[in-house]
Amino acid sequence: MQRRALFFLLGLGACTSSSAAPSPTTTTSAAAPPSSTAAPLPAEPKGPSQALREEVRRSSRAYETVRSLVDAAGPRLAGSPGSHAAVAWGLRTLREAGLDDVRAEPVKVPHWERGEESGAIVAPSPHPLALAALGGSVGTGGKALEAEVILAESLAAIDTLDPAKVKGKIVFYDVRMERRRDGSGYGEAVGVRGAGASRAAKLGAVAVVIRSIGTDHARTPHTGGMRYDAALPKIPAAALSIPDAELLRRLIDAGEPVRLRLSLGAKTLPDAEGANVIGDLRGSRVPSQIVLLGAHLDSWDLGHGAIDDGAGCAVVIESLRQIARLPERPARTLRVVLFANEENGLAGAKTYAKTHAAEIDGHVLALEADFGAARAFETRFLGAPSARPAFHALSALVRPLGIEPSDGEAEGGADLTPLMALGVPVMDLRQDGTAYFDIHHTANDTMEQIDKVELDQVTAAFATVAHAAASGDADFGRIPEEERTRR
Ligand SMILES: [Zn+2]
């Protein structure tokens, strides 16, 4: 019943099912044959979602939207002047996109500043280091910290070291991230960034440096969030560029004692005011049902925040701008949320889930764009198992973009975790992450990393899925209880 209703509303026709979804060849064959004395071929069933998909590819302004954010706000770490400029930009841009009830909802955010920083290998031979403090790290107290280095090849390995050997030293975590299309190497490696400092402090270390969580060989360190265990001393933590980490490792392997000097000006200021920027396209028939499109407005401080997550902001804004221009409004409400402070603690996402607690049951589906600007290749879903046909119907609409459905469980996006914990179903439009972690959280996160054609493909996919999910009455259910607690 649900499935038939969805197909009807999507304009897919009764013959379309997940196994007989239109392929790129069949969809383009709708064009008239070159010599047509014979009767024209029957037209491919085309609904408004399919038409929107093509229109977005033709006329997307997503690229211009990222550029305007980057140029107006620059780096926009929570609490920074850029973060305030980004909120103003978000309000202006959502209004220009034709959304209703555009507002900034206050969020208390952590306020961390990098300050001046430098580092060097001082023995056995001198080498300057390209490094970046991890977000949230303490500094070195206005002076240089110098100590011998001890190697840990993983987070687990630190616990096997003799505390007497770690005491007074700088721990170097040399954890390699694997390059993969789906970016899964990141999740496997990133734990050391978040927890490495406290695990080392427990054994008496005075600081940690990590091999950047990245896949490039550029001399650009990758920053990222870290957290302290409140029961342990807070020690400084920094990422080394990968070539510097390789150099350090060679010197350690050569066997002579290696000494580092670190000077980090990082400090945490009192919490600051931030905001989630939100705009709706109010549903024409069931406005209390919400399809949420999320991205995060903040970025790290080192680059311009173009791929992380200016691109995601542009994808969701352009999706709704295009839908707002259609003659008919979808039945359900479409909502853009530009979250505050994804990078340094998810304060925006947590606050959204609290502020909108009364509406959570009305959130029928959520998607987040937070994986750069490269093309999407796969869809995934996590919600009620009975809703898979509805998921496949949405997926069929983006197959002409070269995007295939997967049986894997969707992961949502970091900003969707609080909603997922409450059962809100999510759909992923997974983007190609092969090159993403060459740039992620580095000074090289600039407009030059964005390919307009690929960004437009992702935008077309988000717009199409959002439009169809909001136009139909498919019930995506809730994430089963046992799946929620795993997150
Ligand atoms: Zn991000």
358: CB partners within 8 A, 6+ apart = none
Report the pLDDT averaged over residues 119-148. 98
Q: Is 291 helix (H, G, I), strand (E, B) or coil?
A: strand
User: Does the structure show a pLDDT above 50 at 163?
Assistant: yes
Closest C-alpha among 277, 482, 469, 483 to residue 363: 469
Element (H, E) at 9: helix 2-10
Give tens-digit pLDDT for 343-389.
999 999 999 999 999 999 999 999 999 999 999 999 999 999 999 99
For 77, the token pair is: 């770490």
| Percent residues over pLDDT 70 in the chain | 90
Q: Where are the beta strands (DSSP E) in 67-113?
A: 100-113
CA angle 361, 365, 368 (to 5 degrees): 125
* Torsion angle of C-alpha atoms 133, 136, 142, 144, degrees rounded to 10: -40
CA angle 137, 185, 132 (to 5 degrees): 25
Ligand 1 centroid vs 41 CA: distance in angstroms?
A: 46
Ligand 1 centroid vs 26 CA: distance in angstroms?
A: 36
Per-residue pLDDT band for 485 (boundaries 50, 70, 90) equals: low
H-state helical runs in 337-478? 347-355, 388-398, 417-421, 436-439, 452-471
User: Does the structure show a pLDDT above 80 at 178?
Assistant: yes
Pairing of β 286-296 and β 363-368? parallel
Give tens-digit pLDDT for 198-212.
999 999 999 999 999
Q: Is 409 helix (H, G, I), strand (E, B) or coil?
A: strand
Per-residue pLDDT band for 92 (boundaries 50, 70, 90) equals: very high
Ligand 1 centroid vs 214 CA: distance in angstroms?
A: 14
Contact (Cβ atoms closer than 8 angstroms) between residue 201 and residue 232:
yes
The per-residue pLDDT of the chain, averaged, comes to 91
Ligand 1 centroid vs 454 CA: distance in angstroms?
A: 18
Ligand 1 centroid vs 328 CA: distance in angstroms?
A: 33
Give tens-digit pLDDT for 37-72.
445 544 445 799 999 999 999 999 999 999 999 999
Ligand 1 centroid vs 147 CA: distance in angstroms?
A: 34
Using omega within 30 degrees of 0 as the cis cutoff, is the peptide bond preceding 45 cis? no
Q: Which amino acid is at 107?
A: V
Report the pLDDT averaged over residues 90-118. 98
Whole-angstrom Cα distance, residue 158 to residue 86?
A: 40
Which among 342, 343, 378, 411 is annotated as catalytic? 342
Ligand 1 centroid vs 318 CA: distance in angstroms?
A: 18
Closest C-alpha among 318, 473, 308 to residue 387: 473
In degrees and rounded to multiples of 5, residue 292 shows phi and psi of -100, 130
Report the pLDDT averaged over residues 76-84. 98
Give tens-digit pLDDT for 11-43.
333 333 333 333 333 333 333 334 444 455 444
* Alpha carbon of residue 96 to chain centroid: 24
Per-residue pLDDT band for 9 (boundaries 50, 70, 90) equals: very low
Contact (Cβ atoms closer than 8 angstroms) between residue 247 and residue 217:
no
Ligand 1 centroid vs 309 CA: distance in angstroms?
A: 5
User: Does the structure show a pLDDT above 90 at 242?
Assistant: yes
Contact (Cβ atoms closer than 8 angstroms) between residue 337 and residue 278:
yes
Question: What's the pLDDT score for residue 46?
Answer: 79
User: Does the structure show a pLDDT above 60 at 2?
Assistant: no
453: CB partners within 8 A, 6+ apart = none
Higher pLDDT, 9 or 74: 74
Give tens-digit pLDDT for 450-464.
999 999 999 999 999
483 is catalytic: no
